[in-house]
Amino acid sequence: MRLEQLQAFLAIAETGSFQQAARKCGVTQSTISRQIQALEADLAVELFHRSTHAKLTLGGERFLPRVRKICQEWQTATAELADLVAGKQPELCIAAIHSLCASYLPPVLQKFCHDYPDVQLRVTSLGSDRALKVLKDGLVDLAIVMNNRFLTTSREIIVEALYEEPIELLCAANHPLAQYEYIPWSELIRYPQVVFKDGYGMQRLIQDRFERLDARLQATLEVNTLDAFRGVVRQGELIALLPQSALMEARLDPTLAVRPLASNSIGALVDGSSLTRKVVMVTTQDRLQIPPIKHFWQLVRENISPQVDQQRSAS
């Protein structure tokens, strides 16, 4: 049983004529006849009385409402796919790490909403691992996250590197570490820290560096928002290691201090590299063919890197 056979059956039922149905379907009358014969053979039921007018048999009458539903569903499905390819989708869902939502992403969102006013843009702040999980599950169209090569190696995944940024110290203005211009790791590891919750790339990055230093990370408290980090650190005892883009507001707060890590510290010499994180944009090959998603991807590429460079120049 094929779709064109069902469409031929429906056309004959609606016009009452094999000849008119052939015109409606854009085929010859003999083609229509063969399609109905094949359909009747598959069903083992006659669908029409062959007379001056093509009249439905009892089996044809029972079959007709089902065929109407099937053909209507097919029309709806093809129309939805055509709209998708043409960029006529109702919404675009993005998952992004917290620091990006608070810093570099807002200008991109504004430009996209101007360019695609009919597309509802939905942005969710998530940790990197969670964002990649919901992308894999099809709950979002695109994710901007801290790179995790173990979660982005599938053949259908496309990864675009956006920028790499240093990790810096956040502490209270009256904390002992605030006296340093650059923080030595030998001093940093002595103090308890507030860290991101499990499932966040930053927690994994910090934990990995401490393990490579053969030092114990004193993770006293776990939070998952930048406001919470600032609020807890402001109390004076706990410190935090955060990416540079997450510390924009903290730099303007007189009760807080932001300090870079010493480049000649033991933490930078373990493998010859300083402590940084790489931020990437991730989607799937099929999604990148959809105009709104492709446009958002291009906006991120064109706008975020210049913002990062501008911030570095300013600092």
pLDDT digits (tens, 9 = 90+) for 254-280: 999 999 998 755 444 444 457 899 999
27-36: pLDDT as tens digits: 888 888 888 8
d(CA 62, CA 4): 19
What pLDDT, on a 0 to 100 scale, did the predictor assign at position 271?
45
d(CA 242, CA 291): 35
What pLDDT, on a 0 to 100 scale, did the predictor assign at position 313?
65
What pLDDT, on a 0 to 100 scale, did the predictor assign at position 150?
67
Spatial contact of 48 and 57, defined as CB atoms under 8 Å apart: yes
Q: Which residue has the higher pLDDT, 1 or 222?
A: 222
Give the residue from 246, 245, 283 showing the smallest Cα distance to 93: 283
Percent of the chain with pLDDT strictly greater than 70: 92
Q: Which residue has the higher pLDDT, 161 or 150?
A: 161
What pLDDT, on a 0 to 100 scale, did the predictor assign at position 269?
44
CA 160 to chain centre: 13
pLDDT tops 90 at residue 229 = yes
What are the chain's domains?
3-85 (1.10.10.10), 91-162+278-314 (3.40.190.10), 164-276 (3.40.190.290)
pTM: 0.71
Amino acid at 87: G
109-154: pLDDT as tens digits: 999 999 999 899 999 998 888 899 999 999 999 999 988 776 677 7
d(CA 107, CA 299): 10
By DSSP bridging, strand 219-223 and strand 193-196 are parallel
- Give the SS3 label for residue 186: helix
Percent of the chain with pLDDT strictly greater than 90: 44
